[in-house]
Amino acid sequence: MSAPARACESNSKNSRSCIDFVEPWSDQPQTRPIAVRNPQILTFALRRAPRGDGEAGGSPLPGQNTLRHARVLLVEDDFIVAYDMQTLLEEQGAQVVGPAASLAEARELLSISAPSVAVLDVNLHGELVFPLVEDLRARDIPFIFATAYADDDRLFPACAKDAPRLAKPVSPNLLVGQIAKMLR
Residuewise pLDDT in 10s, the chain (184 residues): 555 566 666 666 666 666 655 555 445 544 444 444 544 444 444 444 444 443 444 444 555 678 888 999 999 999 999 999 999 999 999 999 999 999 999 999 999 999 999 999 999 999 999 999 999 999 999 999 999 988 888 888 888 888 999 999 898 989 999 999 999 8
Domain count for the chain, please give it.
Answer: 2
- In this structure, are 20 and 92 located in the same domain? no
Please indicate, yes or no, if residue 104 is contained in any of the structural domains: yes
Let me know if residue 62 belongs to a domain. Answer: no
Residue 143 maps to a domain: yes
pTM of the model: 0.66
Query: Do residue 100 and residue 163 come from a single domain?
Result: yes
User: How many CB atoms are located within 10 Å of the residue 84 CB?
Assistant: 16
**Secondary structure letter of residue 163 according to DSSP:** S
Of 117, 94, 95, 98, which Cα lies nearest the Cα of 107? 98
Domain-embedded: residue 162: yes
CB 115 within 8 A of CB 141: yes
Q: Kindly state whether residues 75 and 125 are assigned to the same domain.
A: yes
Residue 76 and residue 65: Cα distance in Å, rounded? 23
Give the span between the Cα atoms of 93 and 69, in whole angstroms.
Answer: 7
